[in-house]
Amino acid sequence: MKQIFEGIFSSKGKILTKNFTPGKKVYGEKLVKTGSVEYREWNPYRSKLCAAIKKGLKKLEIKKGLNVLYLGVAEGTTASHLSDVIEEKGLIFGVDLSQRTMKKFIELCEDRENLVPVLENAEKPEKYEKYLKNSEISLLYQDLSQRKQAQIFNKNAKKFLKKGKLGIIAIKAKSISSTENIEKIFEKQKEELKKEFDIIECIPLQPYEKSHLLCVMKKK
């Protein structure tokens, strides 16, 4: 077993994270035991961050004790692995608008001490600003299928991220336009993001996800 990033391991081509709640599965993933430590397999087809890692993401600065703002948690598949990495001292605010998926996420939050559900619209950060004022956010992660993905990301970054902090966004081209050329869409979105961020790297997620791009950035 090899450590790729802090808290993230790889073994026989599989990406693993240390299970924060040993014995419990989140979405039906495999549990792997090595010695006394239990790991959870991270499925690249279900999580865009894992897909990016599989495709050779070079740098990922996440570590124990970080505070994360996660826009578009849905059922918390990716969030659960992030929660494995940041462990008990960190905290993840999972923002989502859909009450249907939020029901599942709340259950997950009750199991994991570092997850917090926020049922709000990510387009309106002023609504959940008050909950975040005591915790400094070090990572802003976004996975939304909205037309204004980049604008929403910038808006949240302006409010919560300090200079030099990390921003990760998964851009879904299909929800921006179904007719335009995909490369063009990505270019436009990157232009928009450059207003607030320095882009470190961008990784297309084929074959795990179609027409998706994951960008890792630093706040200007």
Q: Contact positions toward another protein, by CB under 8 A?
A: 91, 99, 102-103, 106, 109-110, 113, 115-119, 131, 134-135, 178-179
| Residue with smaller CB distance to another protein, 26 or 50 | 26
CB atoms inside a 10 Å sphere around CB 35: 6
Residue 84 CB, nearest approach to another protein (Å): 17
| CB closer to another protein out of 139 and 169 | 139
Comparing CB distances to another protein, the nearer of 109 and 215 is 109
* Block residue for tokens 């990922």: 60
Please report how close the Cβ of residue 117 comes to another protein at its closest, in angstroms.
4
On the 0-12 / 13-18 / 19+ scale of CB atoms within 10 A, 93 is: buried
State the minimum distance, in angstroms, from the CB of residue 55 to another protein: 26
Judged by CB, which is closer to another protein: 52, or 115? 115
C-alpha–C-alpha distance, residues 166 and 185, integer Å: 23
DSSP string, 116-183: EEE-S-TT-GGGTHHHHTTS-EEEEEE----TTHHHHHHHHHHHHEEEEEEEEEEEEGGGT-SSS-HH
CB of 179 to another protein, least distance (A): 5
